[in-house]
Amino acid sequence: MSIRQYRPRRNLRGSITNAQQLILIAVFVIALLLQISYPLVSGETLRLVTIATVYWAAGAMSLHALYSYGLNYAIRYILITFTFALIVEQIGSRTGWPFGTYSYDVSLGYQIYGVPLVVPFAWMMLAHPLLIAARRVSPHWVFLYGGTGLMAWDIFLDPQMVSAQRWTWEVTGRTVPFQPEVPLLNTFGWLLTGMGLMALLHITLPRERRKNGASYLVPNIFLCWTWFAGVVGNIFFFNRPGVALVGGLTFGLVLAPYFIALSFGRSG
């Protein structure tokens, strides 16, 4: 009789470990804490918090993409979203289409031919959770659902950044309701480009989550938090109840079908 040493087989499907779970939670919590601090600081601290918030949130979503869908998904998601956003922003800032005529302030840090490096990462932090929601709610209309989600989120984002003088528009026509500093064309631009990005991501990224991969808790919380922070922040800290109303209704209508589907266990 021989005695052989038992060595457990490695999980080739790559389940998420306790260490990975801690890293994901830590990065996500830091991103939330930075967002919470945003209305409580000013000056140079506010500028740094603005930039750091985007990078940490994009980092949390990228980690979730890696731990939930695998390396192939994460790399494609990062490269496609970053490249798409950078090209769109380059075209938009030079031609005035499709967002209207606008320019970025140097306070957002390092720029790539006039577009701050941080801007494509802002696209990145919402693209992944909205893609998950769109695939669950409307698998045949992912581009429309996801693009509408990005447009709705921007209703919160733009007035906040314009008030902080991170970018400005030349407003000549109709404006977004309760946002006289933001042209209505910008909303159309976000819908159009958002649909393009979501279509591209849906076509190129794997659809099945890894077995034993990270759960959807982090992106789901982030979607809820984005809506909550946009409503509460504009009412109690930024004195923009109109923005809270329009953004809250629009983004809330986008998110409602997803969380209803989750509650009733509907599968896309």
Whether residue 13 lies inside any domain: the answer is no
Per-residue pLDDT at 265: 73
Query: Which domain does 80 fall in, by range?
Result: 18-262
**Percent of the chain whose predicted confidence (pLDDT) is above 70:** 93
Whether residue 12 lies inside any domain: the answer is no
User: How many independent structural domains does the chain possess?
Assistant: 1
Whether residue 10 lies inside any domain: the answer is no
Per-residue pLDDT of 7-50, as tens digits, reads 444 444 446 899 999 999 999 999 999 999 999 999 999 999 99
Residues comprising the chain, all counted: 268
Whether residue 202 lies inside any domain: the answer is yes
Give the residue-averaged pLDDT of 173-195. Answer: 96
- Cα 194 from Cα 196, distance rounded (Å): 5
Per-residue pLDDT of 68-106, as tens digits, reads 999 999 999 999 999 999 999 999 999 999 999 999 999
Per-residue pLDDT of 133-165, as tens digits, reads 999 999 999 999 999 999 999 999 999 999 999
Which segments of the chain does DSSP mark as H helices, in order? 18-37, 43-69, 71-95, 118-137, 142-163, 184-204, 217-232, 241-263
Whether residue 2 lies inside any domain: the answer is no
Q: Is 218 exposed, middle or buried (0-12, 13-18, 19+ CB in 10 A)?
A: buried
Backbone angles phi, psi at 3, to 5 degrees: -110, 120
Whether residue 79 lies inside any domain: the answer is yes
Whether residue 204 lies inside any domain: the answer is yes
Per-residue pLDDT at 15: 67
- Cα 212 from Cα 47, distance rounded (Å): 39
Whether residue 8 lies inside any domain: the answer is no
Give the residue-averaged pLDDT of 239-266. Answer: 94
